[in-house]
Amino acid sequence: MMAVILPGNLLAPRLAERFGALAIIAVGCLISATGCLALLGIEPGTSYWALCGQLVAIGVGIAVPVPPLASALLGSVEKSRSGVAASVFNSARQTGSVLGVALFGSLIAQANDFLFGVSAALVVSALVLVLAAIAIGWRNRGERVEHGRFTPNAEALRVFPAASPKQVRQLQERARPADRDDGAARFNPHREYQESR
C-alpha cells in the first residue's frame, strides 16, 4: 500500500491537468472505497498476498487526491496566506487520520468478533468515501479547472472552447510590444476576458 503512494502523488498533478482536480479527487475516493469493499471477503486464513490488490487500491485512492487537494487549497488563498493555508491543510489531514484511527479502532474493539468489527469499519469507510465522491461530483458537474488549480472566481472554473487560429494570431499580435510603449496595446489576459464576456 505504501509503495504506491509516492507514484500516485507524482501522477496526480498530470491527471488533474488533463481531467480536472475535482474529478481526480472523486475518482481517488471511489478507488479507495472499492479497495475497502474488496477487503470484506477476508478470513482468518487469508494470505497477505491475497490482500495486495485491495491494499494497492486503497493506497492509490489515498495518494491521488492529495496533490489536487493541496493545489486547490493553496490556489484559493492569497500568496501572503499560503503558509496559513498549508498549515490548515496539514492540521486537518492529521486530525482526520487521528480521529479515523480512534473511531474505527473503537468500532473494531467493541465488536465481539474481530473480523466483524473490521468489516463494519470497512463498510463505514467505504460509505464515507462514496458520499465524498458524490458530493465532489455534484460540485463538479462537468466543470473543469484549468491546469488543475482552483481559483476563487467561480467563472474561472468554466471550460472555455479552444481558440481558433485567427484568435491566437490576434492575441499574439497584441502581445508584441508596440513602437510606443504606453501599455495600452499590451496584452492583458484579464482585460481580454472581461471584454469577451
The answer on 110 and 70 residing in a single domain is yes
Eight-class DSSP state of 40: G
Domain count, the chain: 2
pLDDT by residue (tens digit) across 100-138? 899 888 888 887 888 888 888 999 999 999 999 999 888
pLDDT of residue 19 exceeding 70, the answer is yes
* 192 within a domain of the structure (yes/no): yes
Q: Where are the alpha helices (DSSP H) in 20-164?
A: 21-38, 52-63, 66-75, 82-110, 114-140
What is the domain range of residue 191?
162-196
State the pTM of this model.
0.66
* CA proximity to 39, closest of 51, 49, 56: 51
The answer on 84 and 28 residing in a single domain is yes
C-alpha cell at 2: 505504501
* 73 Cβ contact partners less than 8 Å away, ≥ 6 residues apart: 85, 86, 88, 89
* 9 Cβ contact partners less than 8 Å away, ≥ 6 residues apart: 63, 64, 66, 67
* Pair 130, 30: CB distance under 8 Å: yes
Q: Identity (one letter) of the amino acid at 119?
A: S
pLDDT by residue (tens digit) across 141-161? 655 444 444 444 444 444 445
The answer on 166 and 142 residing in a single domain is no
Within 10 A of 34 (CB to CB), how many other CB atoms are there? 18
* CA proximity to 122, closest of 8, 4, 32: 32
C-alpha cell at 74: 493553496
Mean pLDDT, the chain, rounded, equals 78
